[in-house]
Amino acid sequence: MCNPDETPDTARSRELVGEYYDDPERRPAFVRNMFNRSAEYYDLVNLLFSLGSGAWYRRFCLRRAGVRMGARVVDVAVGTGLLAREALGLAGADGLVIGVDVSEAMLAVAQRNLPIPLIQATAEALPVAAESADFVTMGYALRHVTDLQAALAEALRVLRPGGAILVIEISAPRHRLGRAITKFFIGTLVPWLSQLVARDVRARILMQYHWRTILNYMPPDIIIAVLREAGFCNVTCTSYVGLFHHYVGYKPASPA
């Protein structure tokens, strides 16, 4: 980092300035509009992107984080509800899953799909009571959040002591071959297929943006450090093929 006042998050997202928005201040509005415009075909594109394994993988990560019957889960950046649906399946009727998202159109799709409370708000200012959740989950959204430190502080606030955060993210592989394959698949093939299937050029732009955010975002070791700095303990990262990562961290049981 060149500027000591700059977080890794802002440093990386700055690289997208000019390509998608001309002013970092416009990033939150850009992200919200982007997801508002893509809400109707998000699930379809996601199916393509994950080669149909999305639901299984989300459930697997939730299980690994310890989500089980009776759990109270706040799913931040719930989107159309793909992660929340799996959380609800694990938490059951005795549990509670609340979804929060900044995009009203994504929430409208989630509303159609899921019988859970949904709130339009940002990750940086969660309208959820302190220490009310066993889990805060965030699927494929970390790299879209504007103020990561504020979002993690909020996650920590709403978790009960001992509660866990689960972050599921994609990072560009470090190995050159893996990076080249990923670039072709996620950066080129998926965007074009998305446009073809959704019959909408915006589907391609959305997926190209996803690839740019993946490419420009923090690598896993920095994300682990950021989670620790935010106050989470026992942070672990489980990775597959250098591309899929899920992070679990805990709110300390007593103040440090």
Ligand X SMILES: C[S@@+](CC[C@H](N)C(=O)[O-])C[C@H]1O[C@@H](n2cnc3c(N)ncnc32)[C@H](O)[C@@H]1O
Q: Which residues bind ligand X (CB under 6 A)?
A: 31, 35, 77-79, 82-83, 101-103, 106, 122-124, 139-141, 144-146
- CA atoms of 150 and 125, how far apart (whole Å): 8
Contact call for residues 168 and 239 (beta carbons, < 8 A)? no
Smallest gap from Cβ 77 to ligand X, in A, equals 3
Q: Which is nearer to ligand X, 105 or 224 (CB)?
A: 105
Q: Which is nearer to ligand X, 21 or 140 (CB)?
A: 140
Q: What minimum distance in Å lies between the beta carbon of 255 and ligand X? A: 27
Nearest residue (CB) to ligand X, 53 versus 234: 53
Is 15 or 180 the residue whose CB approaches ligand X more closely?
15
Residue among 140 and 217 whose Cβ is closer to ligand X: 140
Q: Which is nearer to ligand X, 78 or 164 (CB)?
A: 78
Closest CA to 211 of 170, 175, 158: 170
CB of 56 vs ligand X, minimal distance in Å = 13
Residue 184 and residue 3: Cα distance in Å, rounded? 33
Question: Which among 6, 9, 64, 74 is positioned nearest to 226, based on CA atoms?
Answer: 9
Of residues 4 and 124, the one with the C-beta less far from ligand X:
124
Burial class for 112, CB neighbours closer than 10 Å (0-12, 13-18, 19+): exposed
User: What is the number of the residue whose Cβ is closest to ligand X?
Assistant: 79
52: left (phi over 0), alpha (psi -120 to 50) or beta: left
Q: Give the count of beta carbons closer than 10 Å to the beta carbon of residue 175.
A: 11
Tokens encoding 36: 């508002």
In whole angstroms, the minimum distance from the beta carbon of 104 to ligand X comes to: 9
Q: What is the DSSP letter of 146?
A: S
| Least distance (Å) between residue 256 CB and ligand X | 27
Q: What number of residues does the chain have?
A: 256
What six digits make up the tokens of 249?
A: 């961290």
* Cα diameter, the chain: 53
CB of 103 to ligand X, least distance (A): 3
Q: How far is the CB of 70 from ligand X (least distance, A)?
A: 22
